[in-house]
Amino acid sequence: MKGYYFITGIDTGVGKTYVTAGLLRVLSDAGLKALAVKPVQTGCKEKSGSLIPDDPVEYARLNASHFPNGYPDACCRRFVPACSPHLAAQMAGEHIHLDELVHEISAKGEGYDIVLVEGAGGVSVPLNDKHTMLDLMQRLDCPVIIVADNKLGMINHTLMTIESVRNRGLDVAGVIINSTTPCIEDAALRDDNIAAIAHHGDVTVLADIPFRSNQHERDEQLIQRLSPVIDTLVPEVDSHEENLIFDRDHLWHPYTSAVNPLPAVKVRSTRGTRIILDDGRELIDGMASWWCAIHGYGHPVLERALHRQAGRMSHVMFGGLTHNPAVELGRRLVSMTPDGLDHVFLADSGSVSVEVAIKMAMQYMQADGQPNRTRLLTVRGGYHGDTCGAMSVCDPENGMHHLFSDLLPSQLFAPRPSCRFDAPFDPASLQEITRILDAHSHEMAAIIIEPIVQGAGGMRFYHPDYLRGLRQLADAHGVLLILDEIATGFGRTGKLFGCDWAGVAPDIMCVGKALSGGMMTLAATLATRQVARTVSKNGDVFMHGPTFMGNPLACAVSNASLDLLEQSDWQPKVHAIETWLEEAFSPCRHLPGVNDVRILGAIGVVEMSDPVYVPRLQKFFIENNIWLRPFGKLIYAMPPYIISREEVAHIGEVVAQAITQKQYTK
């Protein structure tokens, strides 16, 4: 049992230390092993060579019975100047590193039941040039107790503090009101302050400590008023195990058995390139949550966009209504995608955007007076999603065709592109698909393919000339070309879109995954003016309209994500990651059991000769602090674009170790 609480004031000088010392006392009185930690103490006095905090007297006085040998030294950093920690540190020629500070706090808290972490000043006090006290709270990920002194202006300060804390995803455990001066003598005023905070802040006022001019009386009041608070503070029994059992017994995970699932690992939070597990272990993320989290997790710009939009409007139906987030996103997508894609359909997931693309192609042919053109042509080894239309064009063997053969329309399949990305183009690779087009184009509406990278169907990279060839074939046969850029879009391959490698534009294009930077589910289907006009000929309408179409939250966060991408140096960064992945995975090339190693952009693939045993491999990866999710014969990484060279190198080392030690076998 270990409970951390962060204690912050609404401002400096509100009696935060006094209240913390009181809490420490009542927790100790209740038989708990409690500790108060002060991460940063400014305004220290120099005394016989060491820095002594100004107010340990309060701790000492209130806790003498539990710490007869003096209160344990629980200050992490001490500085003489009585000013903000960032400045005090700077004046002392030091720098406060957040990670180090968190580490020191945890080290001090080792072995205690309850740890009270006392902030400095208010929540937005800077610790260094990047972080404030809120970042420290967020890092510690614990409930927050807010100390407010009862005076004019305290409602405002307290409510602002509550809002800031909640915006970081933290719980406010409650507010403790401490009257530091007799200034509010009027009981009605004082009571109203308390009521207003509880009401507007939707918080519990845990205690109200009245002013007493006599120190002894005041201390007595403090202990008396704080005593009942501990019932709220004693940490609840950890439900970690229970939740994992419920998860195992009741929740379906992707492609997983309901009765004998692979073990799921519980995540507490994510940050930057890291996934933080429930037990505090940090994993380097090599998956970007399946291509999505290109800017890493918890990017402040994306979080701000989400909060801002949530404050205005989370959702409103798109039928007959519109809003700026959707319009802005449409404008961005039209301008950043290849020329000609001028019409945007916002869908709620990649699979749905593929359904939309297929339906567009069908309606196009009907409106064009070619109602017999209903089939799709694709290549083997593709993946386009899990809904019915999308499934019908997934690889017929790896995919789910045998299970759903009665449900799925029968499509046309050419062999998977045999031309490697990194080898000279072999025109013969287009032979079979050309033959199929010659024989079947009269019944064909569209060709659908993932440009350059076949993702979930095998992580293979094919030659841009193949895509160029398909564009010409589609034109020659009057069929539409649908490019599924859901995995490849937004820089992943080293070009903004996969099709940019070939310099071709599709008639219909699907984007998703990284579109929202991994924050929300959103996808889009773009079509050329010609496709859109034809579909809408004779007053016809396009027959699709998801309930959550154009969701404002998803659009707002996508706009922010695309802004970030455009403003970042994503292309040099992806090229650098390509080099790092090459360095990291090259040593695997010659290891026994490895069939192929291939890298393109921020995608690194180690293909084994046989399927790997995922549970063991996953366990090994976690033990070595990386997160990869192999499937079939593939161990692969597609990290966030903010990953560092060292992190990529670590992923490579662990993968090589796993292969050398045969951690991939049963």
- By residue count, the chain amounts to 666
Residue of the chain from 385, 491, 518, 550 that contacts ligand PLP (CB under 6 A) = 385
Is 162 or 288 the residue whose CB approaches ligand PLP more closely? Answer: 288
Q: Tell me whether residue 466 is annotated as binding.
A: no
Phi and psi at residue 345, to the nearest 5°: -110, 120
Name the active-site residue from 2, 33, 38, 266.
38
- In whole angstroms, the minimum distance from the beta carbon of 647 to ligand PLP comes to 23
Is 8 or 351 the residue whose CB approaches ligand PLP more closely? Answer: 351
Q: Would you tell me how many other CB atoms lie within 10 Å of the CB of residue 601?
A: 24
- How big is the site for ligand PLP, counted in residues (CB under 6 A)? 16
Q: What count of Cα atoms within 13 Å lies in the side-chain half-sphere of residue 200?
A: 16
Q: Return the SS3 of 13.
A: coil
Q: Tell me whether residue 15 is annotated as binding.
A: yes
Is 225 or 492 the residue whose CB approaches ligand PLP more closely? Answer: 492
Q: Tell me whether residue 513 is annotated as binding.
A: yes
C-beta separation of 55 from 118 below 8 A: no
Q: Cα(310)–Cα(312) distance, rounded to whole angstroms? A: 5
Residue of the chain from 77, 108, 384, 495 that contacts ligand PLP (CB under 6 A) = 384
Which parts of 10-90 are beta strand (E)?
34-41, 45-47, 50-52, 75-78
Which parts of 63-154 are beta strand (E)?
75-78, 114-118, 144-149
Q: Tell me whether residue 118 is annotated as binding.
A: yes
Is 486 or 656 the residue whose CB approaches ligand PLP more closely? Answer: 486
Asked if 393 interacts with ligand PLP (CB under 6 A), we say: no
Q: Enumerate residues 514-543 that contact ligand PLP by CB under 6 A.
A: 523
- Cα four-point dihedral sign 120, 231, 243, 386: negative
Q: Tell me whether residue 415 is annotated as binding.
A: no
For the purposes of burial, counting CB atoms within 10 Å of the CB of 257, is it exposed (0-12), middle (13-18) or buried (19 or more)? exposed
Is 108 or 384 the residue whose CB approaches ligand PLP more closely? Answer: 384
Work out the angle between the directed axes of helices 133-140 and 154-167 (0-180°, nearest 10).
50
C-beta separation of 452 from 488 below 8 A: yes
> DSSP of 292-354, one letter per residue?
T-TT-BS-HHHHHHHHHHHHH-S----SS---HHHHHHHHHHHHHSPTTEEEEEEESSHHHHH
Is 122 or 381 the residue whose CB approaches ligand PLP more closely? Answer: 381
Q: Tell me whether residue 629 is annotated as binding.
A: yes
Name the residue with the smallest CB distance to ligand PLP: 350
Q: Tell me whether residue 624 is annotated as binding.
A: no
Q: Tell me whether residue 25 is annotated as binding.
A: no
Is 473 or 514 the residue whose CB approaches ligand PLP more closely? Answer: 514
- Name every residue whose Cβ is closer than 8 Å to that of residue 57 and which is 6 or more positions away in sequence: none
Residue of the chain from 285, 450, 500, 607 that contacts ligand PLP (CB under 6 A) = 450
627 bridge partner residues: 285
Q: Cα(23)–Cα(233) distance, rounded to whole angstroms? A: 10
38 flagged as catalytic: yes
Question: Which range binds ligand PLP by CB under 6 A, 13-21, 275-283, 366-374, 383-391?
Answer: 383-391
Alpha-helical segments (H) within 368-507: 388-392, 431-440, 464-477
Q: Enumerate residues 349-378 that contact ligand PLP by CB under 6 A.
A: 349-351, 354
Is 366 or 378 the residue whose CB approaches ligand PLP more closely? Answer: 378
- In whole angstroms, the minimum distance from the beta carbon of 442 to ligand PLP comes to 28
Q: List the x/- string, 76-105, binding to ligand PLP by CB under 6 A.
A: ------------------------------
Query: Which residue in 23, 190, 177 sits closest to 115, CA to CA?
Result: 23
Q: Tell me whether residue 290 is annotated as binding.
A: yes
- Cα four-point dihedral sign 94, 97, 103, 109: positive
- In whole angstroms, the minimum distance from the beta carbon of 454 to ligand PLP comes to 8
Q: Tell me whether residue 129 is annotated as binding.
A: no
Work out the angle between the directed axes of helices 16-29 and 56-63 (0-180°, nearest 10).
20
Q: Token pair of 316, please?
A: 């409103």
Question: Which range binds ligand PLP by CB under 6 A, 166-174, 295-303, 347-355, 608-616?
Answer: 347-355
Question: Which range binds ligand PLP by CB under 6 A, 45-53, 297-305, 450-458, 609-617?
Answer: 450-458
Residue of the chain from 512, 552, 604, 640 that contacts ligand PLP (CB under 6 A) = 512
Is 514 or 608 the residue whose CB approaches ligand PLP more closely? Answer: 514
Query: Which residue in 414, 432, 509, 422 sits closest to 463, CA to CA?
Result: 422
Q: List the x/- string, 455-494, binding to ligand PLP by CB under 6 A.
A: xx---------------------------x-xx-------
Q: Tell me whether residue 507 is annotated as binding.
A: no
Q: Return the SS3 of 585.
A: helix
- What residues act catalytically? 38
Detail the residues annotated as belonging to a binding site. Answer: 13-18, 42, 55, 118-121, 178-179, 215, 290, 350-351, 383, 484, 513, 545-547, 629
Q: Which residues are annotated as a binding site for ATP?
A: 13-18, 55, 118-121, 178-179, 215
List, as residue ranges, the binding site for Mg(2+): 17, 55, 118
**Which residues carry a binding-site annotation for substrate?**
42, 290, 383, 513, 545, 629
Residues that bind ligand PLP (CB under 6 A): 349-351, 354, 383-385, 450, 455-456, 484, 486-487, 512-513, 523
